[in-house]
Amino acid sequence: MKLGVFDSGVGGLSVLKSLLQTHFFKEYIYYGDTARVPYGVKDKNTIIKFSLEALDFFKTKQVDMLVVACNTVSAYALEILRSNANFPVLGVIDAGILATKNTLLDKESKILVIATKATVDSHEYKKGLNKEGFFNIEERATGLFVPMVEEGIFQGYFLESAFKYYFDNLTYIPDALILACTHFPLISSSLQQYFGNNTKLIHSGEAMALQLKQEYDLREKYKDIKLSFFASSDEKKLRDIAKLWLD
């Protein structure tokens, strides 16, 4: 079983990390479009075009399944990727909704989705959560967290200022905070501290691992795995960050 993992850049490593812990696959091929990141500020047609180009890359690698780690791509390009691939293509939004449904028993729960502007504008989380009977949902674009994480800012003064900037006017404490962007799990400890322990954090990577287990019935199987990294620019930088983020 060869799994492809696609992201607009390095952020998808947070999803790859959770997937590696499952031992569901023998081989992992990660591709980040580092030359053209961020996708989260781009328009739909551009996101679709770049995503289809990435799909061509995964076809040459003959993957058995593709996980789209990027929320922005999952929001705009999942259907077109599926119709152009002859292997399953899974997106993190469906996984995140499944994980939220499993986490929150009360349909009145307040859910805050934080994501890139493009993901928020798509309202894919809201639509999916509505279908599951959740209606207390707010989606907020918190794009500044992306460059901060890329700079290695996971805590401290700058991040706290950004929390203030984005969340100061929140009038409620969310029951669940959906980390609807690949980069956000890296600041999850700081977010948890800010919102308090009553807020459940939904992490795309863990959600995807859960979906693979629940819906594809995959089981822990492979101990020795093969891991390859590819990027549209500066593969060395991607590998260096992978060493850091994946321990």
Residue of 5, 37, 70, 112 with catalytic role: 70
Q: How far is the CB of 145 from ligand DGL (least distance, A)?
A: 9
Amino acid sitting at position 223:
K
- 139 near ligand DGL, judged by CB under 6 A: no
Burial 6-43 (b: 16+ CB within 10 A, else e): bbbbbbbbbbbbbbbebebbebbbbbbbbeebbbbebe
Residue 109, annotated as binding a ligand: no
Q: Is 201 designated active site?
A: no
70 counts as catalytic: yes
Q: Does 51 belong to an annotated binding site?
A: no
74 annotated among ligand-binding-site residues: no
Cα-to-chain-centroid distance, residue 19: 12
Q: Residue 210 CB: number of other CB atoms within 10 A? A: 19
What residues pair up with 180 in beta bridges, in sequence order? 115
120, 181, 187, 208: the catalytic one is: 181
- What dihedral do alpha carbons 145, 173, 118, 66 form, nearest 10°? 80
Q: How far is the CB of 75 from ligand DGL (least distance, A)?
A: 8
Q: Does 19 bind ligand DGL (CB under 6 A)?
A: no
Question: Is residue 182 annotated as involved in ligand binding?
Answer: yes
Stretch that binds ligand DGL, among 69-77, 123-131, 214-222, 232-240 (CB under 6 A): 69-77
70 near ligand DGL, rule: CB under 6 A: yes
Among 18, 34, 51, 72, interactor with ligand DGL by CB under 6 A: 72
DSSP 89: E
Residue 176: what residue type? A
Measured CA to CA, the distance from residue 96 to residue 197 in angstroms comes to 19
Q: Which stretch binds ligand DGL (CB under 6 A): 22-30, 64-72, 81-89, 192-200?
A: 64-72
User: Which amino acid type is present at position 79?
Assistant: E
What residues between 168 and 197 interact with ligand DGL by CB under 6 A?
Answer: 181-183
CA distance 28 to 12: 13
8 is in an annotated binding site: yes
Q: Which residues are catalytic?
A: 70, 181
Contact set with ligand DGL (CB under 6 A) = 7-9, 11, 37-40, 70-72, 116, 119, 146, 181-183
